Structure 1
Amino acid sequence: MEMFEETQLCFPQLLNFSCRKPIRPHSVSILIYITLSSISLLTVTLNLLVIISISHFKKLHTPTNLLLLSLAVSDCLVGLLILFQIMIIDGCWFLGEFMCSMYFLLDYIITSASVGTMVLISIDRYVAICYPLHYSTKVTPKRTKACVYLCWICSSVDQCLLLKDNLVQPGRYNSCYGECVVVVGHAFGVADLLLSIIGPVTVIVVLYLNVFVVAMTQARALRSHIAALTHERSVSTNVKKSEMKAVRTISVLIIVFLICLCPYYCVTLSGQDAMLSASSVAFVMCLFYLNSCLNPLIYALFYPWFRKSVKQIVTLKILKSGSCDTNIMYTE
């Protein structure tokens, strides 16, 4: 009986100081391992394809695609974070208290940067639809890169301040050896919620309401206007259809993102001190991980250039000299 009790401890040699493993059927643990491992592999692979595509082909170096590249980088990092989640399925953290704090810090930074990137994508579409004549001068690749760098820097600084106590004294909130817990003060948690989710979501919703109002107004104007020059009207209509397709794609991307991310923030602020332990957030983390896997599938469904670039990568045509100049945006 004593041996049985010891096998339920994360560190049997520490006896009363060790955390206990949760009792779970072996078949369930295997199923979780396989599911998370599959999601991790698929997430990293698909997002690497996005990263390689946009980075390699010069024709894809547009402001919107640079923002999608930033999102793909964060999604790829999420896929790697799943490996840490797999390690603590049994409720035990074996990498030490410092690595526990770093795990949560990286998780928070990636989440914050993802939300910030979504805001930038919304602003990009807002300018493209509402101010099309000024888009090419206002939104340039250079300015977009600067905004992406600033987004990641601000996210890193903000989350370092949020988890400062946990980084200065790792493991201070652990109740036993083998536990991985960080605690965020309620005031800081509320501030982070306002800055990292409520504020950005409000901005996204307001921008997209304006986009849809302008798009509907333009659509009605096109339908009611009978131009003498049929060809010019056709060209204008095709341009508007292209822009509206881009809006629909980004809208699906953002809606899926919010559905997957909102539960994560709800759990973050659960409890009086917003306590968040690695073993207690498996569901919301898996939902967040699933979103990172879904994003490239959305690209594949809506973006022909992504399907064409993947074909170039899989067939190793990108290794040919001058392949980076391939017009991947052509229409068949």
Structure 2
Amino acid sequence: MLNRNVSLLMLMAEITIALASVLGNVLVVLVVCVNRALRNTTFCFIVSLAVADIAVGVLVIPLAIVISLGFNTQFYTCLFLSCLLLIITQSSILSLLAIAIDRYLRVKIPTKYDIIMTQGRAYVAVCLCWILSFLTGLVPMIGWNNLNPQGNLSSSNEIVCKFTSVIRMDFMVYFNFFGWVVVPLSIMIALYAEIFRVIRRQLNKRAEATCDRDRYYRKELKLAKSLALVVFLFVVCWLPIHIINCIDFFCPKCKLPKFATYVGIFMSHVNSALNPLVYAFRIKRFRATLVQITNRCMLCKTTGPTPFNSASLSHPSITTADS
């Protein structure tokens, strides 16, 4: 009876997170569409991340619930459904990496940034992130899976669909975690460390700094802190399930409670609902537009058009969202 109550609570929590992820990230996309000042390359990547988080609420969480029920299906059907989870997760990581690279270029080469990072190239980068996510996420479909490893599984027979019954744990640890989580996150950490170093150095140049230049780097510092917080939350939410996978793989005799696995999976889903909160509380212009949308759509208030400051600062290539 206790297990049934716990399962019911987990199910309700998952449904709540799914709804919050979809609603919050749809608002992120809507805010960027409404406010022209946010339609820059950085928010292009943020929209890509929001789309991935919407997919978590629409696809990943429902699929995770269905797979946890252990329904009977063909091997490759179950494998494909499991690969969809990997694809969407990978797109989030690559979107975060693209955001970090974009911010690095903005503070490292501000005078050449607009020439190098055009809107068209940002769209191409987003497409490449998703293509790479599909390619890496579908790797188990071409052979790195649990089909007939010891002659006990067949693609023609029905199996009880479980993630671990079709996805090999060495794939999850070596390829997915070490190759496509640890490496991108390490690059992100290094990029943000360099971003903060460059900004601090520029802000310390009081003698040669103009008012506009100082304001530019202060804005960049605030936005970089917000985006670094998004990366930090991603690490906090996704690390538990990957640590559990590593323990299962490297220490098969170490028996972890199933509840720990459920909590790890749940934490990974929670991450998709947190990003809109970071934008709303940390990015001033985003928050102002969100309030306008809320007043207009939910409170039936008429508001003026979203303010757009087209004036650039005297520092070259300065067009960034307020933080």
Task: Give the 4+ runs in structure 1 shifted more than 6 A.
Answer: 173-176
Alignment match of 2:291 (pick from 311, 314, 321): 311
AA of the residue aligned to 2:239? C
Given that 1:82 and 1:289 are in contact with CA atoms closer than 8 Å, whether structure 2 keeps it comes out as yes
Residues 73-222 of structure 1 aligned to structure 2 (within 5 Å): 73-80=51-58, 81-88=60-67, 91-93=69-71, 97-165=75-143, 172=153, 177-180=159-162, 181-184=165-168, 186=170, 189-222=173-206
Q: 1:14-45, CA deviations, whole angstroms, 9 ceiling, x for partnerless residues?
A: xxxxxxxxx74433233222211111111110
Letter in 2 for 1:216: R
Letter in 1 for 2:294: V
Deviation at 1:163, TM superposition (A): 3.8
Percent of aligned positions with the same letter in both sequences? 23
- In structure 2, what is the equivalent of residue 302 of structure 1? 282
1:283 and 2:263 aligned: yes
Q: Which has the larger radius of gyration?
A: 1
TM-score normalised by length of structure 2: 0.79
Kindly tell me: are residues 32 and 96 of structure 1, through their superposed partners in 2, closer, same or farther at Cα, counting changes over 3 Å? farther
How many Å separate the matches in 2 of 1:161 and 1:236? Answer: 47
Answer whether contact 1:268 1:274 (CA < 8 A) is retained. no
Q: Residues of 2 paired with 1:41 and 1:187: CA distance?
A: 31
- Structure 2 residue 224 is the aligned partner of structure 1 residue 256: no
Between the aligned partners of 2:71 and 2:308, the Cα distance in structure 1 is: 46
Residue by residue, what CA displacement relative to the aligned partner does 1:52-74 show, whole Å, maximum 9, x if unpaired? 22234433220000010010011
Displacement of 1:279 in angstroms is 9.4
Alignment-derived partner of residue 293 in structure 1: 273
TM-score, normalized by length of structure 1? Answer: 0.77
Instruction: Describe the SS at the equivalent of 2:166.
Output: strand
After the TM superposition, which of the residue ranges 173-182 and 298-307 deviates more from structure 2?
173-182
Given that 2:145 and 2:166 are in contact with CA atoms closer than 8 Å, whether structure 1 keeps it comes out as: no
Given that residues 43 and 75 in structure 1 are in contact (C-alpha distance below 8 angstroms), is that contact kept between their aligned partners in structure 2?
yes
Question: SS of the counterpart of 1:133?
Answer: coil
Change in CA separation of 1:315 and 1:308 when aligned onto 2, cut-off 3 Å: same
Amino acid at match of 2:46: L
Aligned length: 295
Per-residue deviation, 1:272:
4.1
Distance 2:83 2:181 in 1: 17
1:244 aligns with 2:221: yes
**Are 2:311 and 1:327 equivalent residues in the alignment?**
no
Shift of 1:235: 2.5
